[in-house]
Structure 1
Amino acid sequence: MSEQTIPLVRDQSAEVIAARWRSAGRIGVIVAVHLAVLAFWQWAVDWFAIPAFILPSPAATLATLGSAQYAWVSNTLVTATEIFGGYALGVFIGVTLALMFSWSRWLALIFLPLFVTLNMIPKVALGPLFIVWFSYGIVPNILIAFSICFFPILLTTARGLGEVDPDLLDLVRSLKGTRWQLFRKIQLPGALPYVFSGMKVGAILAVAGATVGEFIASERGLGYLMIQVQASLDTPAMLMAVILLTLLGVLLYALVLLLERLVIVRDVRIQ
C-alpha cells in the first residue's frame, strides 16, 4: 500500500466512525424522548390522581401483561398475521400491477382509473360485505389490510417506473435488450426509491386496516380484545392493546427501513 493510500484509508475510516456515532446519537435522542414521555405520563397520573378508568399509569398498563385472561400472545400473533399478511399481499400485487401498467399504456388507461375509484370506497363499509363473503376470521382482516395499504404502493411504484429517462430506454432497446433486461437493469433500480416510499406509507396503513377489520369482523386479535374490554371500562388493557399495535407497526416500518438501507444508497432515498 502506497503512502498516499494510507491517509485516504484513514480518512474513510474516520468518516465511517463519525457516521456511526451520529447514528447512535440519533437513536439515543429517540429513546430519551420516548422515556421522557413515559415519565411525564406516570408523573401526571400520580400528581393529579387521575382515575385508572380514564387514564391508567404506564405501570398499571404494563401490569396487564401478567394477566392470562387477555391472552396477549395469541391475540398479538393473530393481529401480526393479519398486518404482515395484508401488507405482503399489498406489496406483491401493487408492484406487479405497476409493472404491468408500465409495459402497457392500455392496461393503465383501463384499470388505473378503476383502482382510483375503488380506493375511494370507505373500507369500514366493506367490513359487513367481507363477513358475508368470507365469514369471520383472519382472511377477511388480511383482505381489509390489503385493500387499505395496496393503493399507495401501486401509485408510487407506477410513478417511479414512469420517471425513467425515455432516451435511456430507447438506447437499451436499440441494443436489442429484452423487456426483462430493461426492467432489471434500468426500470427497477430507478424505481426502487419510489417503491420504498410507497412501502413506508403502506406499512402504516396496514396496521390501521387490520385493526379496523378486527373491530368489524373478528373473533380474535388485539382490536377484538379492545372491543371486549371496553364494555367493562378496562382502560389499562385497552391501552396495552394500543401499545402492542403500535409496536407491531414500528416493527414493520423498521423492517422496511432496514431493507431500504440494504438495497438503496443514502443519497437517492426518498424521505
Structure 2
Amino acid sequence: MPKFIRGYLYAILAHVGFVVLWQLAVTIGQVPSYILPGPIETAMALAEPSYNWFRHIWVTAAEIFGGYAIATLVGIALAVLFVWIPPLNAALMPLLVTLNMVPKVAMAPLFIIWFSYGIVPNMLIAFTICFFPIVLTTHRGLMEVEPDLINLVRSLKGNRWQIFSKIQLPGALPFVFSGMKVAAVLAVAGAVVGEFIASDSGLGYFLLIQQNALNTSAMMMALILITGLGVLLYGLVALLEYIFVSRKGMSA
C-alpha cells in the first residue's frame, strides 16, 4: 500500500475514533444535550428544514473560496512583481507588513459602510487575512532559487519569462503551497468571524442565532460544517501540491 494512502487511512481512523470517544463520553458521563450533544443528536440537526442549511453553507463557502482565490491570484502576482522589480519590493513590502498589523476583524465595520451587508465584506476579510502569507512565502520561494541555475539559463540566452517559468516558479512551488495551506486555514476563520459582525446569513451568522436560542446541537452541526469547508479547501490545496510538487519529485 502506498505511503500516502496509509497516511489517509490513519487520518480517517483517527477521525472515526474521535467521534466514537465523543459519543461514549456523552453517554457514559450522562452529559445533558444542552451542554454537549452527542454526534448522533448533532447529525439529526441536519434534518431540520427550517435551518435552511444549503443557503448558509453556500454563503460561507462563497466567502471562503472567493476571498481565498482572489488572495492567491493577487498575492502570487504581486510576489512575482517584487522579484522582477526590486525597487517595488523595497517600497511596498514594508507597507504590506504595516497593513498586516491592522486587526482584520476591526476592519469589518468599515467594510459594512463601504459595501453594505452581504458576501462582499466577509470575502474581503478572508482576502485580507490570506493575502500576506501568500505574498511572503511566494516571494521567499522565488528568491531562494539557486542563482547558478538562473545564470545558466541567462548564458543560454534565456529571457526573463523562460527564467521564471523554467527555474524560479518550479523551485518556488513548495514555498507557494506552504503559504497557500496556511492561508486556507486563515480564510475560514476570517470569513466566519466576519459573519459574526457583518452578515445576515452564513454559518457564522447561523451559529450566533442558535447561541441565543441555546440550541447546542445546531451550533455543533454548524461548527462541523464550517470545519468541513476548511478541510475541503485545505484538501484541494494539498492535492494540487501532490500533483505539482510531490508526484513530480517522486517521478524525478
**TM-score (ref. length: structure 1):** 0.89
Corresponding residue of 2:139: 158
Aligned length: 250
Could you list the per-position Cα deviations for residues 71-115 of structure 1 after superposition, in whole angstroms to 9, with x for gaps in the alignment?
Answer: 111110110111000110010011000000001110001000100
Corresponding residue of 1:50: 31
2:56 to 45, 50, 75: 75
Which amino acid in structure 1 is aligned with residue 80 of structure 2? L
Corresponding residue of 1:246: 227
Could you list the per-position Cα deviations for residues 170-191 of structure 1 after superposition, in whole angstroms to 9, with x for gaps in the alignment?
Answer: 3322332221111111111111
Residue 79 to residue 176, structure 1, CA distance change in 2 (3 Å): same
Corresponding residue of 2:45: 64
2:127 matched to 1:127?
no
2:206 to 200, 216, 225: 225
Supply the distance in 2 between the matched residues of 1:164 and 1:31 (Cα, whole angstroms).
37
Supply the distance in 2 between the matched residues of 1:206 and 1:253 (Cα, whole angstroms).
10
Matched ranges for 1:177-192 at <5 A: 177-192=158-173
Corresponding residue of 2:148: 167
Corresponding residue of 1:261: 242
Corresponding residue of 1:205: 186
> Computing the radius of gyration over CA atoms, which structure comes out larger, 1 or 2?
1
Superposed CA RMSD: 1.5
2:127 matched to 1:146?
yes
Corresponding residue of 1:85: 66
Supply the distance in 2 between the matched residues of 1:65 and 1:225 (Cα, whole angstroms).
13
How far off is 1:268 after superposition? 5.8
Residue 24 to residue 190, structure 1, CA distance change in 2 (3 Å): closer
How far off is 1:46 after superposition? 1.4
Once structures 1 and 2 are overlaid, which stretch shifts more, 35-44 or 135-144? 35-44
How far off is 1:164 after superposition? 1.3
Which amino acid in structure 1 is aligned with residue 41 of structure 2? A
Corresponding residue of 1:13: none
Which amino acid in structure 1 is aligned with residue 25 of structure 2? A
How far off is 1:26 after superposition? 2.5
Corresponding residue of 2:174: 193
Aligned 8 A contact 1:86 1:144 in 2: yes
Supply the distance in 2 between the matched residues of 1:260 and 1:23 (Cα, whole angstroms).
13
Unaligned runs of 5+ in 2: none
Supply the distance in 2 between the matched residues of 1:40 and 1:78 (Cα, whole angstroms).
32
How far off is 1:169 after superposition? 1.8
Supply the distance in 2 between the matched residues of 1:157 and 1:36 (Cα, whole angstroms).
37
Could you list the per-position Cα deviations for residues 200-255 of structure 1 after superposition, in whole angstroms to 9, with x for gaps in the alignment?
Answer: 10111111111111111111100000011111111111110100000001111111
How far off is 1:266 after superposition? 5.2
Supply the distance in 2 between the matched residues of 1:88 and 1:80 (Cα, whole angstroms).
12
1:100 to 68, 81, 104: 81
Supply the distance in 2 between the matched residues of 1:108 and 1:27 (Cα, whole angstroms).
40
Unaligned runs of 5+ in 1: 1-17
Supply the distance in 2 between the matched residues of 1:265 and 1:24 (Cα, whole angstroms).
14
